[in-house]
Amino acid sequence: MPNMVKRLPAEWEPQDAVLLAWPHEKTDWAPVLESAQETFRTIASVIQGYEKVIFVHPESYDIPTNDTWARDFGPITIEEDGQPVLLDFIFNGWGDKFPADLDNEITRELHSRGALGNTPLRSIDYILEGGSIESDGAGTILTTTKCLLNPNRNPQFSKSQIEDRLREEFGAHTTLWLEHGELAGDDTDAHIDTLARLCPEKTIVYQACTDPADEHFEELKAMENELKAFADFRLLRLPWPSAKSDVEGHRLPATYANYLVINRAVLVPIYNDPADEAAMEVIQEAYPERDIVGIDCSTLLLQHGSLHCVTMQIPKGVL
């Protein structure tokens, strides 16, 4: 029997829905719960202007959750011979940093309740988060060595074995690795969706740091040089937001790269920052045909994530 042709669709391809999980009093959002819930309501409301929302919420799918990071516990949808298949990888709380036992069950629970249509679901015995990989839909994956090669994920596999795994699961013929790039306050071990994003027309939008006095300057400059070495890509540089900190003075991982692409629009995290407008203009350049919608994600930063981290797109055909 011939091998299936596998493909990991790009985020900018047509979608059926976006998955979200509601922040509740047993999550780490408890100290800022009202503000967090308001942010999630806003995100859901904006998405509903363009497509459906699947909400793990007491009033819709009342499924127990540890937290709200749908990007990392949600299903990763591939195509096999043109047909959608949902992959459910293991989520271990970014290397067992946080409890994830309930979140690791969410995709299977949603599927058993029919919330993900009749699309087949395959559980994969491998630790992988959606925020750790970017796909161009044509066989190229962009990722970071700090995350995928971290011994807290799949220590038994070498770099070449991990590339084999990406080929096996996603049909990826090219893996672009970034060795540099990381944000202070980031719990994910340098998820690519906080740093650099594949876009249509061989474009990469990336988070730069232009302040030589900032602790991120050298690392993000080194990342920029790595990106410049990738052949044939047009690079679009995102402006650097001013430093954001929590009440105890710990730096928070503010990034404009953590945007979400949906049908006919791009939702951009903004932070009441002078650079917000310029960031949206850069993303508009990458997505000239789409609405660019800024959403204040200042509260999301307090739990060390942003807009893309709390969402997972469900491609067209799944539902």
pLDDT digits (tens, 9 = 90+) for 199-235: 999 999 999 999 999 999 999 999 999 999 998 999 9
| Averaged pLDDT, 285-314 | 98
Query: In the prediction, which pLDDT does 51 show?
Result: 98
CA–CA separation, 5 and 311 (whole Å): 27
CA–CA separation, 231 and 189 (whole Å): 26
Ramachandran class of 235: left when φ > 0, alpha when ψ lies in -120 to 50, beta otherwise:
beta
Residue pair 181/175 in contact (Cβ under 8 Å)? The answer is no
User: How would CATH label the architecture of 6-315?
Assistant: 5-stranded Propeller (3.75)
Query: In the prediction, which pLDDT does 268 show?
Result: 98
> Percent of the chain scored above 70 by pLDDT?
99
Q: In this structure, how many other beta carbons lie within 10 angstroms of the beta carbon of residue 92?
A: 21
Q: What are phi and psi of 222, to 5 degrees?
A: -65, -40
| Averaged pLDDT, 158-178 | 98
Q: In this structure, how many other beta carbons lie within 10 angstroms of the beta carbon of residue 197?
A: 25
| pLDDT at residue 25 greater than cutoff 60 | yes
Query: In the prediction, which pLDDT does 4 show?
Result: 85
Total number of residues shown for the chain: 319
| Averaged pLDDT, 291-300 | 98
Query: In the prediction, which pLDDT does 42 show?
Result: 98
| pLDDT at residue 3 greater than cutoff 80 | no
| Averaged pLDDT, 308-314 | 98
| Averaged pLDDT, 20-46 | 97
CA–CA separation, 136 and 217 (whole Å): 28
Query: pLDDT band at 36, cuts 50/70/90?
Result: very high
Residue pair 188/131 in contact (Cβ under 8 Å)? The answer is yes
Residue pair 271/241 in contact (Cβ under 8 Å)? The answer is yes
Query: In the prediction, which pLDDT does 2 show?
Result: 59
| Averaged pLDDT, 286-302 | 98
| Averaged pLDDT, 46-55 | 98
pLDDT digits (tens, 9 = 90+) for 233-250: 999 999 999 999 999 999
> Percent of the chain scored above 90 by pLDDT?
98
72 alpha-carbon distance from chain centroid: 7
pLDDT digits (tens, 9 = 90+) for 98-135: 999 999 999 999 999 999 999 999 999 999 999 999 99
pLDDT digits (tens, 9 = 90+) for 56-101: 999 999 999 999 999 999 999 999 999 999 999 999 999 999 999 9
| Averaged pLDDT, 135-141 | 98
